[in-house]
A and B are shown apart, each in its own frame.
Chain A
Amino acid sequence: MKSINKTLKSVSLLGTLLFSGSFLQSVHAEALPSAGLMPLIDTHIHYSHDAVYSTPPKKAIEILREAGLQKAFVSSSSDKGTQLLYAEAPDLIVPVLRPYRKRGETSTWLHDETVPAMLEELLANNTYAGIGEFHVYGKDANLPVIRRTVELASEYGIFLHLHGDSDAVEYVFEQDKDARILWAHSGFDNPEDVAVMLEKYPNLTADLAFRTSHAYRGKVDEDWRKLFLAYPDRIMIGTDTYTPERWYYVVDHAEWSRTWLADLPTDVAEQIGYKNAQNLAAWALK
């Protein structure tokens, strides 16, 4: 029986490789999603201390693979969670450094002068594709802790995963016009305003985590469609596992994402679904 299953799996894998065309060629074989599923990269995963407890690393990786993810950008409070997952599945995890020691520091971290030293130490000892997701709004983006964070991202050639308003994004670009920013939740802005920001800042990309307004029952909203077609190389998807239970949403979210992505031209869907994130990770993890 085992050998039959193995044969079936091999046939299925061969079919996937033959019929999926060139876009899968660059993907590691071990990261292939189930046959027929479009690969996805989820750019907004957290694996914080309480999630580690409720969903141990092996189970967490199992969930990510079940969702058919090619990669997952993971940041955690504390960073220990990210390191545990990265050790478990380096092919799957794109480590991102969150400047929080525990959840709940979203509004206090930027006033904590010990944060830069913590970031420096972790950056010196580990591999990261970015710093974030961190929360900052308006002029707070000019506080010393944020300024040093922006400098560190520049020094290490990695991106900033910024959760905040457009003002904060603009202040960071004022500090470093060459910064690469992944704008969490697309700033919770409407597509017209996101377009303005993407037009103004070529190094700005945006994730769609926790957004639903762009798709309803598998159909892409017209205003969002315009944005996706105008900036197909700048948008990415993400779940945002901000509580331990949300880890179990990753599979549903991937399924939902594939549904609305199918309503876009294939090349645009592939860019938003995984290629843009693949490029961002490749740029950062050179």
Chain B
Amino acid sequence: MRNAIKLCITLCLVFLPAVWATPDNETLDYDTHELAFIRSLGPWPPVSKKDESNRFSQQEDAIELGRQLFFDRRLSLNNTSSCADCHQPDLAFQDGVALNTALAPLHRNTTSLLNLANRPWYGWGGEHDSLWSQSIRPMLATAEMHTDLSALQKVLSQDSFFQCAFQQTTGLNLADLTQQDLLVTIGKLLASYQETIQSGKSRFDLFRDQLVDAENTSPSQKNAILTAEEQVGLKIFIGEGRCTFCHSGAHFSNGEFGDIGVSFFTANGIDKGRYDGIKALRTDPYSLLGRYNDATKNSNDAKEQGNTETIPHNALRTSHLQLLHRNWGEFKVPSLRNVGQTAPYMHNGSISTLMDTVDFYSELDEERLHADGEKILRPLHLTPIEKDSLQAFLLSLSGPIHAAQEKPSLFSQCR
């Protein structure tokens, strides 16, 4: 009986996408360019890769300890909030509100934590170049967790279980650490857990795989996983919409920054976006150019060989950053994976729904953009049917969300 249930579950999981699609779904015709674009939006999930700047990356016990820290309110001043209070697992690891005001009014939308491993920049302004340094940020922010490091070190040191688990995981004695080392270590443990927060294959991914397979074998015109409406939306997305200029690759984001004409005034002034992000990165002691980058060992080796100019290979991107006038008011191009679950949208949460976002691009305010030469952004002037199609396609980008689960056995000797 148990085997029968297992088989049923397996079959359901394998064939569910086909059930979602109507039986007579046909694959629309795609020309060579369209096929190339579709191919470029995968494969998904990406190959798992260790973050070389974080020596705890992909370590089982670090992931578990990071998971515990993620839900631990002791990280904040007066135990007011944990990471999970704003990055809620049942809300795709975001908070579902435009601007969070739980502790103090914020001026940026809380981003989802899906698929953050090995991205080039973190934060709406790209203030950080690693997931662990980004994880430190809310702890230091007075409007967010506002961590009292001295108090935190004391309380964690008095927790015999945590102290033991910390020692087992990091090889470090909690009480002996400097506050900076404690901060960085906690950041790296938090990052280790967050690397496991991923979305699985979406219906679009299954469709893409089907299409790529068909290219390699004989084309199959029947039983397409995406509906005709979704495929029309896909064609707009990769075609006249030119969405893939920015929302490119398997992450549906180029990982960089843009100004799409959303106001960046805040309640108290201005959010300079990427401009301040670059400035912050240049002075951040926790950037990949700093001493906490665990990949610097190669650099030290090079220094011993007389090459004093060597920059760790994973920090080259940061070292080449240039501050440009255009960076003023640019914000990160967000991933569109599971976009149907990450409303509200934009850096300031100013657009409530996915359809409103489609409307925004459809009626883009050209006056606001001031592009010279080739215009990447232009109003799409979509018909209602086209808007519905584009939204339907975007909704097909949602996959099941996974994150590391509790593994109490890992620290059994600490109990």
Which among A22-30, A122-130, A239-247 touches the partner chain? A239-247
Pair B372/A188 contact, Cβ less than 8 Å: yes
User: Is A65 engaged at the interface, CB distance under 8 Å to the other chain?
Assistant: no
CB-CB contacts of B228-244 with A at 8 A, as 1s and 0s? 00000000000000000
| B269: chain A residues within 8 A (beta carbon) | 248
**A140–chain B nearest beta-carbon distance, Å:** 15
Q: CA–CA, A210 to B371, complex, Å? A: 12
| A252: chain B residues within 8 A (beta carbon) | 275, 328
User: Is B366 engaged at the interface, CB distance under 8 Å to the other chain?
Assistant: yes
Within 8 A of B (CB), among A164-223: 185, 188, 210-212, 216
Within 8 A of A (CB), among B246-302: 263-265, 269-270, 272, 275
- The residue that A104 contacts in the complex, of B275, B328, B367, B373, with Cβ under 8 A, is B367
CB-CB contacts of B366-386 with A at 8 A, as 1s and 0s? 111010110000000000000
Pair A54/B324 contact, Cβ less than 8 Å: no
Q: How large is the interface on B (under 10, 10 to 19, 20 to 34, 35 or more residues)?
A: 20 to 34
**A185–chain B nearest beta-carbon distance, Å:** 8
- The residue that B324 contacts in the complex, of A103, A104, A212, with Cβ under 8 A, is A212
Q: How large is the interface on A (under 10, 10 to 19, 20 to 34, 35 or more residues)?
A: 20 to 34
| B367: chain A residues within 8 A (beta carbon) | 102-104
Pair A212/B322 contact, Cβ less than 8 Å: yes
User: Is B325 engaged at the interface, CB distance under 8 Å to the other chain?
Assistant: yes
User: Is A234 engaged at the interface, CB distance under 8 Å to the other chain?
Assistant: no
- The residue that B328 contacts in the complex, of A102, A103, A188, A249, with Cβ under 8 A, is A249
Pair B322/A243 contact, Cβ less than 8 Å: no
- The residue that A212 contacts in the complex, of B263, B264, B325, with Cβ under 8 A, is B325
Residue of A nearest to B369 (CB): A243
Pair B370/A242 contact, Cβ less than 8 Å: yes
User: Is A98 engaged at the interface, CB distance under 8 Å to the other chain?
Assistant: no
* Given A104-B367, A188-B372, A243-B370, residue A54 in contact with residue B265 (CB < 8 A): yes
Q: CA–CA, A185 to B323, complex, Å? A: 18
**A239–chain B nearest beta-carbon distance, Å:** 8
Q: CA–CA, A54 to B272, complex, Å? A: 16
User: Is A253 engaged at the interface, CB distance under 8 Å to the other chain?
Assistant: yes
Q: CA–CA, A18 to B275, complex, Å? A: 37
Residue of B nearest to A55 (CB): B265
| A256: chain B residues within 8 A (beta carbon) | 323
Residue of A nearest to B269 (CB): A248
| B322: chain A residues within 8 A (beta carbon) | 212, 216
* 28 contacting pairs across A/B (C-beta < 8 A): A54-B265, A102-B367, A103-B368, A103-B370, A104-B366, A104-B367, A210-B326, A212-B322, A212-B323, A212-B324, A212-B325, A240-B325, A242-B370, A243-B329, A244-B263, A244-B265, A245-B263, A245-B264, A245-B270, A245-B328, A245-B329, A246-B328, A248-B269, A248-B272, A249-B275, A249-B328, A252-B328, A253-B325
| Given pairs A54-B265, A212-B324, A242-B370, 18 additional interface contacts (CB within 8 A) | A104-B367, A188-B372, A211-B325, A212-B322, A212-B323, A212-B325, A244-B263, A245-B265, A245-B270, A245-B328, A245-B329, A246-B328, A248-B272, A249-B325, A252-B275, A252-B328, A253-B325, A256-B323
